[in-house]
Amino acid sequence: MTEAKPTTPADDPGPSVASLETIVSLSKRRGFIFPSSEIYGGINAVWDYGPLGVELKNNVKRAWWRAMVQERDDIVGLDAGIIMAPQVWVTSGHVANFSDPLVECSTCRRRFRLDELPGCENLTTTELRDPTIVERLGLKCPVDAGPLSAPRQFNLMFKTHMGPVEEDGNEVYLRPETAQGIYVNFRNVRETSRKKLPFGIAQIGKAFRNEISPGNFVFRMREFEQMEMQYFVKPATAAETFEYWMPRRRAWYERYGVTPERLRFREHRPDELAHYAKKAVDVEYRFPFGWKELEGIHNRGDWDLGRHQQATGESLEYFDPATEEKYVPWIVETSAGGDRAAFTFLIDAYREEEVRGEKRVVLGFNAELAPYKVAVLPLLKKRDEIVEKCHALRDDLAKDIMAVYDDTAAIGKLYRRQDEIGTPWCVCIDVDSLEDGKATIRDRDTMEQIRVDLSQVKPIVMERLAKARG
Ligand code: GAP
């Protein structure tokens, strides 16, 4: 894979936005994302989606579902519980292995992930588990240069209790990945959907990880959403299935507007593979804080079904009617983050430009992802007939798409506000509209305006939207 090599400054396209603060501030100001429980001072690594953010994230999830379930004859959906039988996580290897190496500063008490300390990014798994590593490398606290403890493995799973009594016997976990809900339902889904291999099961849902060092806004959170698809195949075909999914998953981000130069593949070194993976390739994005994982594609072999079969004594084998063979299917997984994808689309859509000597901020979302598809704006809010026509048009549009009415500023400012939240089309109704029954449609990107019959506004918007969907 040519793109796995480190990027040099010459071929690094740079981020879409110079600083992360620009996105954080826009998100707060315009109602995309807020700190959770803010009036209580917030809670670290949990974020809430505001009126625009929830629309964006829902649109991202819908676009993923369309590509991964609706448009495919070989993939079906599932919505499994967040809490599962605790034994699932023992079998899956998460209780024993789903941990990060933690070191603690004995003066400031801050805790760090060892592999995120300066100079430790490329340590092998064996080195990260070596109790002498801190001493050998002379590592110090990056904040106050205090002494650091030897690394200990910190399990990332959140625990809680099931039922009215808190005792050891009823501890359960909040799932750290949605995938296991798919594996334990493999037989139920295959039998009821009567699917033959190869076929996939897709799921979107919350996952929880008690990350040691969350951060970079919604990039790494403790509560987040995953969009995962598990593709069950004959073992001999897993490698080619992996190659099949890689370009398709990258293309999905491009289809919805991510700049191709800001995407790349990176293959995991053997010593950084997760406990279940035979091979892993990340789709990475050039975030303002560097190239980082956006989605993981994993060849999980028969690790999951094999172990669940062994632990439960329930057969998870597949009988292939064509060859009359019986085998435990191998799994190729595509695992994306709902929040990370929405964050990426938001960052990549951001642009600033100068229009007639003034700065114009635009979120150039693909129309499918834009929170509002259309804004209906009166030129004069004091003219009741204009306002009435605006509301009638908005109500009609809102039967099919997200449409908003706004009259809280002059028209120029209203346009700029809609540009800044990524609304692809604005419709303005003015005094002439009362005479000629026409309205103006303004395009967010070109700022071109066309005058059309009011009755044509909805068909035109719907046609443009269908085109954006591709
Ligand atoms: N089932 C495989 C799995 O969970 P992963 O690479 O650990 O693989 C998959 O996670 C995706 O989930 C990541 O690529 C990322 O998009 C998202 N993700 C993981 N941890 C996250 C976190 N703490 N905050 C936000 N998104 C996260």
Give me the domains of the chain, ranges plus CATH numbers: 20-86+174-346 (3.30.930.10), 372-469 (3.40.50.800)
Q: How far is the CA of 210 from the centre of ligand 1 (A)?
A: 12
Q: What is the pLDDT of residue 1?
A: 40
Residue nearest to atom 6 of ligand 1 (CA): 296
If residue 75 lies in a helix (H) or strand (E), which one and from where to where? strand 75-78
Q: What is the pLDDT of residue 6?
A: 54
Residue nearest to atom 15 of ligand 1 (CA): 337
Q: How far is the CA of 344 from the centre of ligand 1 (A)?
A: 14
Residue nearest to atom 12 of ligand 1 (CA): 337
Paired sense of beta strands 403-405 and 374-378, if any: parallel
Q: Full-prediction pTM beyond 0.85?
A: yes
Residue nearest to atom 14 of ligand 1 (CA): 295
Q: How far is the CA of 284 from the centre of ligand 1 (A)?
A: 12
* Nearest CA among 352, 423, 362 for reference residue 394: 423
Contact present, 231 and 332 (Cβ < 8 Å): yes
Q: How far is the CA of 135 from the centre of ligand 1 (A)?
A: 31
Query: What residues contact residue 362 under an 8 Å CB cut-off, 6+ apart?
Result: 349, 350, 351, 352, 353, 419, 420, 422, 444, 445
User: Which residue among 78, 287, 335, 347 is best mutated to probe the pocket of ligand 1, counting the most ligand atoms within 8 A of its Cβ?
Assistant: 335
pLDDT by 10s per residue, the chain, length 470:
434 455 666 778 998 888 999 999 999 999 999 999 999 999 999 999 999 999 999 999 999 999 999 999 999 999 999 999 999 999 999 999 999 999 999 999 999 999 999 999 889 888 999 999 999 999 999 999 999 999 999 999 999 999 988 887 799 999 999 999 999 999 999 999 999 999 999 999 999 999 998 989 999 999 999 999 999 999 999 999 999 999 999 999 999 999 999 999 999 998 889 888 999 999 999 999 999 999 999 999 999 999 999 999 999 999 999 899 999 999 999 999 999 999 999 999 999 999 999 999 999 999 999 999 999 999 999 999 999 999 999 999 999 999 999 999 999 999 999 999 999 999 999 999 999 999 999 999 999 999 999 999 999 999 999 998 87
> Which phi and psi (to 5°) does residue 296 adopt?
-115, 140
**Which three-class secondary structure state does DSSP give residue 448?**
coil
Which tokens hold the place of 359?
Answer: 């700065």
To 5 degrees, how large is the angle CA 468–CA 289–CA 252? 25
* Nearest CA among 397, 382, 110, 125 for reference residue 270: 125
Looking at residue 137, the DSSP 8-state letter turns out to be H
Q: Which residues pair with 207 in a beta bridge?
A: 224
User: Which residue among 293, 333, 347 is best mutated to probe the pocket of ligand 1, counting the most ligand atoms within 8 A of its Cβ?
Assistant: 293
Paired sense of beta strands 75-78 and 199-208, if any: parallel
Q: What is the pLDDT of residue 408?
A: 96
User: Which residue among 46, 61, 177, 245 is best mutated to probe the pocket of ligand 1, counting the most ligand atoms within 8 A of its Cβ?
Assistant: 177
Which tokens hold the place of 457?
Answer: 């506004």
Q: What is the pLDDT of residue 8?
A: 67
Which tokens hold the place of 127?
Answer: 């080195």
| Pocket-forming residues, ligand 1, beta carbon under 6 Å | 177, 179, 209, 211, 220-221, 224, 226, 228, 293-296, 333, 335-337, 339-340
**Which three-class secondary structure state does DSSP give residue 299?**
strand
